[in-house]
Amino acid sequence: MKAKFMQLFRLQPGEGSLVFVLGFALLANAVAMQIAGIVSISGFLKFGGVNSILIVLFVDYAFILITGALQTLVIDKFTRKDLILWITLLFASLFVFLRLMFLFNAPDWLNYSLMYILAEQQFILFPLVFWVLANDIFKISQAKRVFPVISGWNFAGKLIGIGIAAISPMLFARLGIEVEEILTINTFVYLLAFMVLWTGLRKTEVRKTVTQTETLGETLREGWDFMSNVPSFRFMMYTILALAVADTIIEFRFLVVTDSVFTDQASYQTFFSMYRLGITLLSLILQAFVTSVLIKYMQLKNTFLFFPVVAFAGAVAMILLPGVNIAIAVMAGVKLIRDTINESGRKSFQGLVPEERRGRVSTLMESYLPSIGTMLACVAGYAIVYVGEILGASVVLWYLLVAAVGGVFALYAVLKMRKVYDDSLYNWRLKRRQRKTQTVLLDKLMD
């Protein structure tokens, strides 16, 4: 049975246990993240109001910037095994704290706001450290085989988390259990993940990188220097910022429309669970059968065209056809492309960065830039909504135009990136990776 499993997923001796350990950790984070995300959205829309979600998002991503700064400082200084263990234990502790807030009757809008913020940290911070660790454990030739298998655990975790979130309102109501008791499940999941990681990675060798001694400012400047002076990465920076703006506004519109249809917490939680289930299943199919083929035959630089086109078309569709079905379809399309083709392409793009800089550059690409773009969208969106409330006028057209402009600008930046992509590969800041060309070729021959 084990031999067939190894053969099916093209795993070599010694890789199976690592794939299980890392895959389980990714699964656990996905389970807890889906539970927290779905429950927090449905709860906040009931107690906080849909327009206030822009304020929560702004605070959330401001917090991500702060924690991102701390991660930028430590991610290349300490062993990634210790970092992933501490982050796993930290999430378990935070869910205990949040459960106590419900227990001591803190305001519901505050509890669900904090739960939503915590779910966003799970989505951004945990994978950031996780994939840097995975890149340090596996060689490039191994990564091509095992990363898709490990990513499959993430999709499985999403399905389990969505299933728990979907059935919990009905099940908890029958058992007389409060909805916030679901936080106990998340605590248990992270504690279990901590034990699996701690026991499974004790004897695992991790590629050593040069120990950094820079201050926070110096560390940020080095990452910024790389992003701004390598032309392809500079235009990718503009693309990420613009798409974060478009993505945030489209999601806000989706929440406004669906909140007007599913008006109580239980029905919205069930709907949102089913919506995420559909997205997850479609993403699994796309990731398994389409993404790798596109990257191989279209070239990496061309795959970044999809997300801007879908974001622009989605914003225009929401303007012309403002119904709930279009809102769901547009939101599904945007998230589907973002979480499959665009995300896989971005991770492959980061593979160009030398190992000793990859942690800081990936933090900028996965944390800072999306955070800044989201915060800009929140400020613009809330200002438009606030003015609309004062004037008593509909402002849907205006904030969706912001999303459309973001999609157009992102498309422009991708087109510029494509023109300089090949020349950027010879930039001296990538020279450390170029010195390893012979090793990479040998790895490919052995693959």
What is the per-residue pLDDT for 37? Answer: 92
For residue 12, the 8-state DSSP code is: P
pTM across the whole model = 0.82
Residues 424-447, mean pLDDT to the nearest whole number? 51
What is the per-residue pLDDT for 82? Answer: 80
Residues 6+ positions from 118 with CB-CB distance below 8 Å:
36, 40, 91, 94, 95, 98
Distance, CA of 420 to CA of 233 (rounded, Å): 10
Of 46-50, 142-146, 429-433, which gets the smallest average pLDDT? 429-433
Q: How far is CA 21 from the centre of its chain?
A: 20
What is the per-residue pLDDT for 435? Answer: 44
Q: Does the pLDDT of residue 140 top 80, yes or no?
A: no
Domains of the chain: 15-202+213-446 (1.20.1250.20)
Residues 218-245, mean pLDDT to the nearest whole number? 88
Residues 212-219, mean pLDDT to the nearest whole number? 60
Distance, CA of 304 to CA of 4 (rounded, Å): 36
Largest CA distance in the chain: 68
Of 84-88, 95-99, 336-340, 349-353, which gets the smallest average pLDDT? 349-353
Q: 255-278: buried (b, 16+ CB within 10 Å) or exposed (e) per residue? A: bbbbbeebeebbebbbbbbebbbe
Distance, CA of 5 to CA of 293 (rounded, Å): 23
Using one digit for the tens of pLDDT, what is the confidence trace for 24-37? 999 999 999 999 99
Using one digit for the tens of pLDDT, what is the confidence trace for 267-318? 899 999 999 999 988 888 887 788 877 877 888 899 999 999 999 999 999 9
What is the residue whose two structure tokens read 């157009």? 408
